[in-house]
A = this chain, B = another copy of it.
């Protein structure tokens, strides 16, 4: 009997991979590799919830070729759940499809067990209410043979008489619904007016409620905040993995994808439009409203996300001198988003400048963003090629331009963005941190979802590890069932300084040679440290941190630190009055850990703030106050962008920045914690 053949199985978007015995189902492989796939029927092909997509093509990064022929053929039971179109796209039921060779399997959002918890949660923000869309109730004089005025003129006369609104226009789609709204409301209507300029919706009768949606499109996570426009209250939040993740984990790989695939931009654009509609559906369902009750929307994202969600070719922001297509904010009708007009453009070879040919409007097709059809989506401005609308969101949320003290704002996402300065001068930079803080490129890294280790403490003497898991009350040591699945961002920020302070790694990040602990071991010649024993997990294997993980975390933190140092030098300051940590999981980060990791230069811990998703806050602020939209445009142009890599000693600064902090090395505020320089 031949030895059982092993097949490489790689799960996306998590990146978890390993060798699996031929003949195992994808579901079995997922369990073995710690990937959660939904399913409520105990693999009986009854619930159809474990749908996954088997990818096709070469995955050079992993050195494998994924063939759909490397999966057992589809049976009749399975086919009941997979329609023809899905089959063509490689969809299978994980509990039925058997692994026959090397494959890459994508687990779509809907099939992932344990929805991501909203780490992009919203904090309370205090903002003067001045929304772009306001509602007005009107009683119109009835048309008669002696008064045959048109419906629209009847309406504008009344808006002028009662509310002093002048020179209004009407959205084309709103116009198409005007006559019926007027008659169904028996000549009483509620009119939604955008910026006191344009009627975007007419509803019959008196309708008090109106909603707005603020969205932060992160490279990895998309978060949406539904607000009640008249009172500013947060009504619902939703988040999801950015559906573009399957095309590349970071911005450069996505730009590259659009350049090497003729329909790449379109695919990425459609993916995010679909994602935005998913967010819309989600918040509307939570709030018990209709999608079309959402009358306004604001959106932020880094420059690459910004260009792609606008369907603007991102190739020029991917190569020097990185100029964006535009900086200024935009107001684009929700229904225009993702509309395909230019089939001609598809024929153009990417990489070179496509010949300039106005699209042949043979057919226009798409779905738009499914909120009120007349509504606008306000896109916040961007600062520079690498400092995007998300950072502008942070900017208006934190408003350092109103401060005298020197602030450093760190926005931690898949890219790290920095703002430094005060009301005199503001400078910004972008740091290529990579996605380590989001759990990617870390062997047991994961999203912030139930089962994720979010907090880690290591005893300096015993080297024993305590940790907390999302959705579990108490530390692992206090629980019967721990059920850890991996380590998420805040745990990742904790683990390196904890290892360092416990003497397990040195300040260069290397494991100590003389370490004695059952948790420390070498596997295939690679040193690793056990954070959670297999019996504390739900994945049946030890959760470890290996040398490569530590290196990736150091690279990420070093990029941030070096960036801050160069900005400080540029601004001519040698100390920070205040450090603000922003980012999707910003408010979950242990500030002390971040300081000890050396994510930023020394600062008094009492002046260290975690503000969570400030980019999302900025989007909400712009949603609720139109003056802040103007402020965003002004401030985005005021901030000076500094290209870090142009600093002549960048490499040197960066190399040094990868080391962990030492008190003698300019961290007086960490005195009580940090070891003395040897």
User: Using a CB–CB distance below 8 Å, which chain A residues touch chain B?
Assistant: 143-145, 147-154, 170, 172-173, 175-181, 183-185, 201, 203-204, 290, 292, 310-313, 316, 320-328, 330, 332, 335-336, 339, 341-342, 353-356, 358-368, 370, 372-373, 382, 384-385, 641, 643, 646
Contacts and interface: CB of A to CB of B under 8 A. Distances in A.
A325 B361 contact: no
Given A151-B325, A321-B148, A341-B335, A364 B367 contact: yes
Contact of A143 (B321, B336, B367): B321
A80 to B, nearest CB: 25
The oligomer's copy count stands at: 2
A342 B355 CA distance: 36
19 contacts: A148-B385, A148-B643, A149-B323, A150-B326, A151-B323, A152-B327, A153-B326, A172-B336, A175-B330, A179-B312, A179-B316, A180-B313, A180-B353, A185-B356, A290-B358, A335-B361, A335-B364, A364-B368, A365-B365
Grouping DSSP codes into helix (H, G, I), strand (E, B) and loop, the A interface class, with mixed when no group exceeds half, is: loop
A323 B362 contact: no
B324 A145 contact: no
A175 B368 contact: no
A292 to B, nearest CB: 4
Instruction: Give 3 closest A-B pairs by Cβ, nearest first.
Output: A152-B326, A292-B358, A143-B323
A339 B367 contact: no
Contacts of A328: 150, 152-153
Contacts of A153: 326-328
A362 B367 contact: yes
Interface centre among A154, A365, A382, by most B CB within 10 Å?
A365
Contacts of A382: 150
Contact of A150 (B311, B325, B335): B325
A143 B319 CA distance: 12
A242 to B, nearest CB: 21
Given A150-B326, A341-B373, 11 more contacts: A143-B323, A145-B646, A148-B385, A153-B327, A172-B336, A175-B326, A177-B356, A184-B353, A184-B356, A361-B368, A362-B367
Contact of A152 (B325, B362, B365, B373): B325
B363 A367 contact: yes
A91 to B, nearest CB: 21
Contacts of A149: 323, 327
A339 B364 contact: yes
A312 B316 CA distance: 43
A277 to B, nearest CB: 9
Contact of A175 (B154, B170, B312): B312
Greatest chain B CB density within 10 A among A170, A175, A180, A366 is at: A180
A147 B320 CA distance: 11
A202 to B, nearest CB: 9
Contact of A178 (B144, B325, B643): B325
A358 B177 contact: yes
Contacts of A180: 313, 353-354, 356
Contacts of A359: 173, 177, 292, 373
A558 B641 CA distance: 77
Contact of A179 (B322, B325, B373): B325
* A176, A341, A360 interface centre (most CB from chain B within 10 Å): A176
A377 to B, nearest CB: 11
A178 B385 CA distance: 16
Contacts of A339: 364
Given A178-B325, A362-B367, A363-B365, A355 B184 contact: yes
Contacts of A355: 184
A370 B365 contact: no
Contacts of A185: 356
A352 to B, nearest CB: 10
Given A172-B336, A335-B341, A321 B356 contact: no
Nearest to A315: B179
Nearest to A312: B176
Contacts of A365: 363-365
A24 B292 CA distance: 57
A631 B44 CA distance: 73
A170 B327 CA distance: 12
Contact of A201 (B151, B178, B358, B367): B358
Contacts of A172: 330, 332, 336
A91 B216 CA distance: 53
A385 to B, nearest CB: 6
Given A173-B341, A321-B143, A361 B367 contact: yes
Contact of A326 (B145, B151, B204): B151
Contacts of A384: 148
Contacts of A641: 148
Contacts of A312: 175-176, 179
A159 B172 CA distance: 30
Given A327-B153, A358-B177, A364-B366, A353 B143 contact: no
A326 B353 CA distance: 45
